[in-house]
Each structure stands twice: as C-alpha cells, then as structure tokens.
Amino acid sequence: MENHNRSWMYDRTYDQRWGLKPSFIKGVNEFVDVCTRTHEFLRGGLVRCQCGTFKQLIDIKIDLYTHGFKPNYWVWTEHGEEIPTENQIRIEEDIENCCVNGCMIYYKEDKDLRQCKFCGKQKFKPRKGKNKEVPYKRMHYLPLIPRLQRLYASMSTAPHMLWHHRNRRKICH
C-alpha cells in the first residue's frame, strides 16, 4: 500500500461519530497485515502499539477503532515499513558545459558553440589523437520543478508547502 492512498487513516468515523467508515476498517486490516511481517510479530505474536507497549493484533485493532492513528503517521516505520533512502529516490541532474571564466552556459541555442561568445575562450580542452572532447568546465544543475512536485506529492511535506498560502496577512505600509 502506498503512502498517498492513506487518507483513510484520519477519516475514521461518519459525521457525529455514527460508526466507523468501511474505508477505515479496510485500511486497518491492511495495516494489521503489514504488522504481521514485523520481526516482533514473527518472534512473539505481538505488535507495537502507538502507546509504546506491545499488544496482540486484536487489541491493536480495537485501539485503532477507538482512538485512531497517531498524528502524521503516514509511513509505518514502527510497523515494518521502510522510508525510501537517497539511493531509492532518483534525483534528476542536468550537466551543462560552461565557459572556463564563467561568462556563459552552453545551453539551448548556444549548445553547439565552440568558444565563448563573450571572452572568446575555447569550450573544449585540446587533446592529441583522442576523439572525445572534454570541456574545460561543467555545471551540475538540479532542476527545481521535479523537486517541488515531489514535495507537494508527499503527504508529510505538502501541508508545509501551503503554509504561506493559507496564512496570508494583509500587508500594510
């Protein structure tokens, strides 16, 4: 089960608390299924409760039906789920050639230029008998838009990304 489908965790009861919603009951069953794969459960049949103690599965279900999940527990790290590491998250990187003096970046319409249009320095190092051209200087760039999209897509960071929009104040000069 993926994190972005866990809105059911904090939508437990109907208005005026008239019973549990079927999506919550189904989600709790999936949560319990994840819990059965933890080391603690496989060793002794117990699952870590939100209160910090270890309990039987039925007691965990009853606690969740009664009290719900602890706030912002989107990734079930205490119940066998792993947080994606840097190696699992692909961060795109653009590498562009640039002038040795920093005058310009060889990008878009300037990509095919062989020398800087400002200072006249050559783009590539002279090499004897080798076919591959090596630039004097390169720039590593992390594109902003994919990073922002990931921040807005994450259930844990999206509320923080919207803080300024939700807390606007009228500026008086």
Q: Does residue 164 fall inside a structural domain? A: no
Q: Does residue 44 fall inside a structural domain? A: yes
pLDDT single digits (tens) 38-50: 777 777 888 888 7
Same domain, 97 and 119: yes
Same domain, 125 and 72: no
pLDDT single digits (tens) 66-77: 888 888 887 787
CA-nearest of 45, 22, 25 to 35 is 45
At 50 the pLDDT is: 78
Q: Does residue 120 fall inside a structural domain? A: yes
Average pLDDT over the chain reads: 82
Q: Mean pLDDT throughout 84-105?
A: 78
pLDDT single digits (tens) 100-146: 999 999 989 999 999 999 999 999 998 887 778 899 999 988 888 87
Q: Where does residue 54 rank: exposed (0-12), middle (13-18), buried (19+ CB within 10 A)?
A: middle
CA-nearest of 148, 145, 166, 144 to 157 is 148
* pLDDT band of 157, cuts 50, 70, 90: confident
Query: How large a percentage of the chain has pLDDT more than 70?
Result: 90
Q: Does residue 171 fall inside a structural domain? A: no
Which residue range(s) make up the domain with 63?
3-79
At 136 the pLDDT is: 94
Domain count within the chain: 2
pTM, to two decimals: 0.47
Same domain, 69 and 103: no
User: CA dist 139 to 59, 104, 143, 156, Å?
Assistant: 56, 11, 12, 32
